[in-house]
Structure 1
Amino acid sequence: MVRAIAAMLVGLLIVLNMAAPAGAATVKVTVNGTTITDVQVSQRLKLFQLEGRSGTKAATEELIDEAIMLQEAKRLGITISDAQVSEAMLGVARNIKVSMDKLIQILNQNGVNVDTLKARLRAALAWNQVTQMAIMPRVQLSDVELEQKAAAKLDPSNSFDYILKEVIFVMPGGKGSASRRTAEANRYRKSFQGCDSAVQLSLSYTDAAVIDIGRRHATQMPEALAKELAGLNVGGITKPRVVETGVSMLAVCSKAVAEDTTFIKGNLRQEAGSAALKGETEAYLKGLRGKAKIIYE
């Protein structure tokens, strides 16, 4: 009899151990029935640390937001494939200039499971589609207001239309002496007599090229460059600037007054649209959170 009871107890312990193994995940939050475990929070914290962030509460709240995002995407019939997530992973690797294998190695070395990053990317991709489908249509921008703001930004330095050529003293792969190439560019500039002879003059120098930029309005260029060009006449050339590929100068082949607000409006529209969309997106998510059943265990 004693042996039978002992055998029953051993069997019960085996069953219990199978049901709740050592180190089993513990539910920390439930979001509309979706559970978030301590393991997920711990993993998100490790990802935070890799990004220079911290905070258990912040990690938990991010996971709650992502659960809500995925639920809203599902409600709208949006699904994110594994292939899309893999492509997003590849995008992360490219952004930090490493291979996919190296990215995975970095994650593993810092104790981050690859699925942790994939989960975040899946939520981000889903939310991006929610934004396009349900939130962007809410953003309204006034063309009249944009035109008024654009007109106010016009000044003498950005009221010209140009036809330009770029003269570049190349440094292949960004390598070489910038000071030496700048000195050569300055010598070229002193001898420059207009766009018609730009190519012929460049032949006197090694690794110098003349590129037709074509028509550009001042509002398409950085402010400092637009101001410099505004002070030049046709046949003038800007001071040398070090760029990614070498040392660059812009030659003015044609110049005409043109108070065009097209590009200013485009930039303003993008800025205003981004700000408005950000506000609408935050309000939309806040509304979803307000309706969600969130239980902290």
Structure 2
Amino acid sequence: MTIQRQKTSRLGAVLAALALSLAAAAPVSAQNLFDPAIKVGDSVVTNYEMEQRALMLRLLNAPGIPEEEARDQLIEDRLKLKEAARLGITIDDEALAAGKLEFAQRANLSTEDFVAALGQAGVAEQTFDDFVRSGLAWRQVVRGRFGRFVNITDQDVAMALTTAPNPESVRLLISEIFIPLRPGQEGEAQALAEQISQIQGLDGFSDAARRFSAAPSAQAGGRVNWLPVTEVPPNLRAVLLDLEPGEVSAPIAIPNALAIFQLRAIDEGPYTARAVTEYDYAIYHIAGGRTPEALQRAAELRAEIDQCDDLYTTAKGQPPQVLERQTVPVGQVPQDIAYELAKLDKNEVSTALTRGNGQTLAFLMLCDRVTEAAKNADAAQVRTQLQNEELDHYATGLLERLRNETRIVIY
């Protein structure tokens, strides 16, 4: 006996045993099998179909209560098939066979072995056929109606390669204030930073950010979008995770400034950043520090360029040190730069930092994040997955509309 047939035999034995236990627990009156259980528009779902679908779902360990899931699925199947028929979509024998094989292979079985195993447990092949046919027809309906509206860009793919669902993840929602350390004014800056660190309440911190912060986020009251905790520099991460929402950190010294942070919220929901292994980033140094002229030049440059490679044209003919471009392991990125990079998407810019004792403005641009996932991923597969997710949103809306437009009677 081959390994494949051993698998099939074991699966068949389990399903058969389960079917026998179900039959013993819940005998069904034969005369009621083909009575209507549900009417969906002009289409009838029988008790037999309900019983068969519930049994198949139980055997497949599908989530939910099998009888309730069977009812909902069969209602949706009727709606899907009616819409497919309206659009002239039918599933021929060849397409059905391919769909059955695709489903059976999820259990590492051939179609024949999968159907045989179901049959031993009392599930008719027609039940399996009906389940697969409605899914295939609906796939064609959705792709035909909404496919032209789905446009997955290279940036969408890149973003998917750097993020992934994970229930153990943590994101931080913070506000920031950067107090510049100007030569000869370090004492005043320290005193101001200490005063700000005593602020209580979100509004008070936002007001202080608008008045005193040198960061671009000052106009937004210091508010920063959600940050994956995995991308926050380790030293800063420890500070932020020690705060309760609403609390403010002590001043933290970074090059040419003092930073103060307020934790606004923490999220442990289904989101995480994949582990970033390297940052590819560029810094274009603009003379003048945070003077109005330097900031104006930064704003102009941001409008002129689309990606990091454009900076080579900008820096052409200037001293080599004007432009830095590096791909650096995460642990070797300076803390203040790493913090800014964590807030950026690919090809976005930060002008929060200065260099050379405040004499130059750091035009910092994230060229790319390198993750283990990105190194090993198939971009075409990721694109297809994103397309399917977008189509699922359209499909959900269409199905809900069809349900609302159809008279459904449950007996």
Query: 1:80, 1:122 within 8 Å by CA — same for their partners in 2?
Result: yes
Runs in 1 of length 4+ with deviation above 6 angstroms?
A: 150-155, 263-268
Aligned length: 182
Equivalent position of 1:105 in the other structure: 116
Listed as ranges, the gaps of 5+ residues in structure 1 are 1-20, 160-218, 228-262
Q: Decide which of 4, 26, 46 is 2:55's aligned counterpart.
A: 46
Q: Does 1:131 align with 2:280?
A: no
CA gap of 1:285–1:23, structure 2 versus 1, over 3 A, is: closer
Distance 1:152 1:89 in 2: 34
Distance 1:30 1:141, change over 3 A: same
The residue that corresponds to 1:294 in the other structure is 408
* More deviation, 49-58/119-128: 49-58
1:19-30 map, 5 Å: 22-30=31-39
SS of the equivalent of 2:144 reads helix
Deviations 1:55-100 (A, max 9, x none): 3121111001011101100111101112321222233333322233
The AA in structure 2 aligned to 1:273 is Q
RMSD, aligned CA:
3.8
Change in Cα spacing, 1:267 to 1:224, as seen in structure 2 (3 Å) is closer
Structure 1 residues 23 and 283: alpha-carbon distance in aligned structure 2, compared to 1, 3 A threshold: closer
Q: Which residue of 2 aligns with 1:173?
A: none
* Residue deviations 1:138-176 (CA, integer Å, cap 9, x gap): 335577x749959999974679xxxxxxxxxxxxxxxxx
The equivalent of 2:41 in structure 1 is: 32
**Residue 223 (1) aligns with residue 372 (2):** yes
Is the 8 Å Cα contact of residues 146 and 265 (structure 1) preserved in structure 2? no
Q: Which amino acid in the other structure matches residue 147 of structure 2?
A: M
Provide the TM-score with structure 2 as the length reference.
Answer: 0.38
Secondary structure (helix, strand or coil) at the match of 1:22 reads helix
Q: Which residue of 2 aligns with 1:115?
A: 126
Q: Distance in 2 between matches of 1:41 and 1:280?
A: 27
Q: Is the 8 A contact 2:104 2:111 kept in 1?
A: yes
Q: Given that residues 29 and 37 in structure 1 are in contact (C-alpha distance below 8 angstroms), is that contact kept between their aligned partners in structure 2?
A: yes
Q: CA contact under 8 A between 1:43 and 1:116: conserved in structure 2?
A: yes
Q: Name the structure 2 match of 1:58.
A: 69
Per the alignment, residue 94 of structure 1 pairs with 105
CA distance, structure 1, for counterparts of residue 124 and residue 280 of structure 2: 51
* 2:58–2:66 contact (8 Å) kept in structure 1: no
Letter of the 1:113 partner, please give it: A
CA contact (8 A) 1:135 1:284 kept: no
SS of aligned partner of 2:143:
helix
> Counterpart of 2:132 in structure 1: which amino acid?
L
1:48–1:59 CA contact under 8 A, matched in 2: yes
The aligned residue for residue 79 of structure 1 is 90
Q: Identify if the C-alpha distance between structure 1 residues 150 and 288 changes in structure 2 by more than 3 Å, giving closer, same or farther.
A: closer
Counterparts of 1:29 and 1:280, CA distance in 2: 26
Q: Relative to 1, partners in 2 of residues 1:271 and 1:90: Cα closer, same or farther, differing over 3 Å?
A: closer
Match of 2:390 among 276, 282, 285: 276
The 1-side partners of 2:106 and 2:162 are apart by 37
- Measure the CA separation in 2 of the matches of 1:96 and 1:264: 23
Q: 1:133 to 1:55 in 2, by over 3 A?
A: same
Between stretches 101-110 and 120-129, larger displacement belongs to 101-110
Task: Report deviation, 1:286.
Answer: 0.8
TM-score scaled to structure 1, two decimals?
0.51
For residues 173-200 of structure 1, the C-alpha deviation after alignment (integer angstroms, 9 at most, x for no partner) is xxxxxxxxxxxxxxxxxxxxxxxxxxxx
Secondary structure of 2:44's counterpart equals strand
Change (3 A) 1:151 1:26: closer
Superposition deviation, residue 120 in structure 1 = 0.7
Contact 2:147 2:391 in 1 (8 A): yes
Following superposition of structure 1 onto structure 2, how do residues 178-257 of structure 1 map, counting pairs within 5 Å? 223=372, 226=375
CA contact (8 A) 1:45 1:56 kept: yes
Equivalent residues in 2 for 1:6-21, closer than 5 Å: none
Q: 1:26 offset after TM fit, Å?
A: 1.1
